[in-house]
Structure 1
Amino acid sequence: MAPRFWTCFGNKGSRDSAADGGSMTSDVTTEEQRRGGPVMVEMFSSQGCATSPAAELVLSRLGRGDFQLEMPVVVLAFHVDYWDYMGWKDPYGSSQWTVRQKAYVEALGLDTLLTPQVVIQGVAHCLGNDDTAIVDAIQNALRYPAPTFQATFTKPTQDSLQVSLTGALRSKVDSNGVNVMVALYENGLVTDCPRGENKGRVLSNDFVVRKLEKLCTEKDISAKKTITGTVNFPLWGGFNSSKCGVAVFVQSPSHQIFGSQSFHLPDDI
Structure 2
Amino acid sequence: MKNIKLYSLLCLVTILLTASAFKNGGHAEYKENKKQTGFAVIELFTSEGCSSCPAADAVLAKIQQEKKDQQVYILAYHVDYWNRLGWKDAFSKHAYSERQYKYTGWIKGASVYTPQVVVNGKTEFVGSQEGTLRNAITASLKEQHNTRLLLNGLKVDKSGVTVNYEAENAGIKDVLLFALVQKNARTVVKSGENEGRTLPHVQIVRELQQVTADKASGSITLPLPTGFNTGGYEVIGLVQNSANGGIEAASKVAFATNGTMAVIKR
TM class by shorter chain equals 0.7 to 0.9
- What is the CA–CA distance in structure 2 between the aligned matches of 1:148 and 1:77, rounded to whole Å? 21
- What is the CA–CA distance in structure 1 between the aligned matches of 2:234 and 2:201, rounded to whole Å? 14
- What is the CA–CA distance in structure 1 between the aligned matches of 2:233 and 2:66, rounded to whole Å? 17
Question: What is the identity, as a one-letter code, of the residue corresponding to 1:234?
Answer: P
Find the counterpart in structure 2 of residue 259 from structure 1: 249
- What is the CA–CA distance in structure 2 between the aligned matches of 1:75 and 1:146, rounded to whole Å? 19
Summarize the Cα distance change of 1:162–1:34 in structure 2 as closer, same or farther, 3 Å threshold: closer
Contact 1:143 1:259 in 2 (8 A): no
- What is the CA–CA distance in structure 2 between the aligned matches of 1:173 and 1:160, rounded to whole Å? 26
Aligned counterpart for 2:176 among listed residues 168, 180, 186: 180
- What is the CA–CA distance in structure 2 between the aligned matches of 1:103 and 1:129, rounded to whole Å? 21
Q: Residue 87 of structure 1: CA displacement?
A: 0.6
Over residues 66-116 of structure 1, what are the superposed CA-to-partner deviations in whole Å (9 max), with x where a residue is unaligned?
6x99x6311110110111111110110111000000000121133631110
Q: Residue 124 of structure 1: CA displacement?
A: 0.5
Q: Residue 201 of structure 1: CA displacement?
A: 0.4
Over residues 159-197 of structure 1, what are the superposed CA-to-partner deviations in whole Å (9 max), with x where a residue is unaligned?
5222222x343xx344x4211111110022110001001
Over residues 14-42 of structure 1, what are the superposed CA-to-partner deviations in whole Å (9 max), with x where a residue is unaligned?
xxxxxxxxxxxxxxxxxx88861321111
Find the counterpart in structure 2 of residue 240 from structure 1: 229
Matched, 1:192 2:188: yes
Matched, 1:120 2:119: yes
Summarize the Cα distance change of 1:33–1:109 in structure 2 as closer, same or farther, 3 Å threshold: farther
Q: Secondary structure at the match of 2:109?
A: coil
Question: What is the identity, as a one-letter code, of the residue corresponding to 2:90?
Answer: P
Alignment of 1:139-178 (within 5 A): 139-141=138-140, 142-144=143-145, 147-157=148-158, 160-165=160-165, 167-169=166-168, 172-174=169-171, 176-178=172-174
Q: TM-score, normalised by structure 1?
A: 0.76
Find the counterpart in structure 2 of residue 3 from structure 1: none
Question: What is the identity, as a one-letter code, of the residue corresponding to 1:121?
Answer: N
Alignment of 1:34-49 (within 5 A): 36-49=37-50
Q: Secondary structure at the match of 2:102?
A: helix
Matched, 1:106 2:95: no
Contact 1:34 1:144 in 2 (8 A): no
> How many pairs are equivalent?
224
Q: TM-score, normalised by structure 2?
A: 0.77
Question: What is the identity, as a one-letter code, of the residue corresponding to 1:93?
Answer: S
Matched, 1:58 2:59: yes
Summarize the Cα distance change of 1:134–1:243 in structure 2 as closer, same or farther, 3 Å threshold: same
Matched, 1:78 2:77: yes
Q: What CA RMSD, in Å, does the superposition of the two structures yield over aligned residues?
A: 2.3
- Structure exhibiting the larger radius of gyration computed from Cα positions: 2
Give identity over the alignment, percent: 27
Summarize the Cα distance change of 1:111–1:121 in structure 2 as closer, same or farther, 3 Å threshold: closer
Question: Which stretches in structure 2 are left out of the alignment for 5+ residues?
Answer: 1-32
Question: Which stretches in structure 1 are left out of the alignment for 5+ residues?
Answer: 1-31, 220-226
- What is the CA–CA distance in structure 2 between the aligned matches of 1:147 and 1:261, rounded to whole Å? 8
Q: Residue 153 of structure 1: CA displacement?
A: 2.0
Question: What is the identity, as a one-letter code, of the residue corresponding to 2:240?
Answer: Q
Q: Residue 155 of structure 1: CA displacement?
A: 2.7
Structure 1 range deviating more: 104-113 or 190-199? 104-113
Question: What is the identity, as a one-letter code, of the residue corresponding to 1:264?
Answer: A
Which runs of structure 1 show a deviation greater than 3 angstroms over 4 or more consecutive aligned residues?
32-35
